[in-house]
Amino acid sequence: MAVEPRRFGALGPLTDHQLQAAAARFDLGRVHTAEPLTGGLFGKNVALTTDTGPWVLRGDPWPDDRDDQFRRERCFARLIHDHCELTAPWPYLIDPDPSLFGWPYALMPRLAGAPIGKPSSNRDWPALAAGFGRAVADLHRIAFDTPGEWRPDTDRVEPIETSGARYLEARIAWWMFRTAETSEALDPASERMLTDAIEGAALELDLEDDAATYVHHDLNLGNVLASDDGTAIVAVFDLGEGYVADPLEDLPRLLTHLALHHGEPAVNAYLQAYSGASGRTLSRVRLRSYTLFDLLVFWEYGRRPAANWFPEARSFAEWVAPVLARVEDTITAW
């Protein structure tokens, strides 16, 4: 290891002494190597090898007491560890004391599995998509009686005193308000599109309203690890956006990627594998609505002046229409 401090992404310069002290705090033995991990959490991860094996140190140089991401992640990591075949970062060790680095940090075992990496035409995408579908179904074995959210005062998932439909409406309203705050308010056509989607999904939820599971909310290719043969998902991480709601809310992020880049066979392999493994009948109405809502999250972030992802789009409705059409065209099994 280097004697002089080295820069580790957004965490800045770290010394060998600091890294060893962090490992010693949790009796992990001597640190042998330390390398920055460029992906995930905006460059705030460090790969360590110690006497006890490979670990990841995750720092938080911009802590937000209102969010408390480490404790939220730990809550959901424990649930996955206790209820799922998938592996998650466990044990999830947190040191909230900022005296060592100037910010809180967490340590967790480095998960086994292969990063999926950038899309490749050589990969068997229907097989991988089916494996992903089974993995999502495995996560949704974490079931609750009602929608809920992690609460910092109890450090557990607490029920929301409302129906699934009303909880959905409140969250979409928040994202619409957030968009107006960070860039510009949605135009009337975009608001109508979202309102119609909310009504359609909420009607179905009012009729059912009996399914509430853990929702990861960011299930994409970068937040999972695959088996060596690429046909199964074996690990999941980046758990900080989790909550409890309709399980179908977890499907659109990968669904959209598959529809845009890998087509109908991959999309239907994904949905069929999920439905078969979970025993749930999929709703086109809710899949479309949740895809629209998920794209609103991308729009909110990408429309910020610092991001400027959609410079040519005049409105959310204009940008999202062809994406939604592509998703719907590839879903042929329902």
pLDDT tens figures, 169-227: 999 999 999 999 999 999 999 999 999 998 989 888 876 656 799 999 999 999 999 99
Q: Where are the alpha helices (DSSP H) in the chain?
A: 16-25, 69-83, 125-139, 164-182, 188-207, 252-261, 263-278, 284-302, 316-330
Cβ–Cβ < 8 Å for 188, 314: no
Contact 44, 9 (CB under 8 A): yes
Structure tokens at 78: 């424990």
Residues 239/72, Cβ–Cβ less than 8 Å: yes
66 pLDDT higher than 60: no
| pLDDT at res. 333 | 76
> In the chain, what are the domain boundaries?
6-109, 114-330
State which amino acid sits at residue 34: A
CATH class name, domain 6-109: alpha beta
Radius of gyration of the chain (CA): 21
Q: Is 67 helix (H, G, I), strand (E, B) or coil?
A: coil
Q: What is the mean pLDDT of residues 65-71?
A: 76
61-68 average pLDDT score? 66
CA distance 54 to 32: 10
Please say whether the beta carbons of 133 and 201 come within 8 A: no
Residue with more model confidence, 119 or 315: 315
Q: What CATH number was assigned to the domain covering residues 114-330? A: 3.90.1200.10
Phi, psi of 149, rounded to the nearest 5 degrees:
-140, 155
Identify any residues that bridge with 105 across adjacent strands, giving them in sequence order: 59, 95
User: What strands, in cross-sheet order, belong to the sheet with 212-215?
Assistant: 143-144, 212-215, 243-245, 148-151, 156-159
- Amino acid identity at 135: A
Amino acid letter for position 303: R
- Residues of the chain with pLDDT > 70, as a percent, come to 93
Res 1: pLDDT = 47
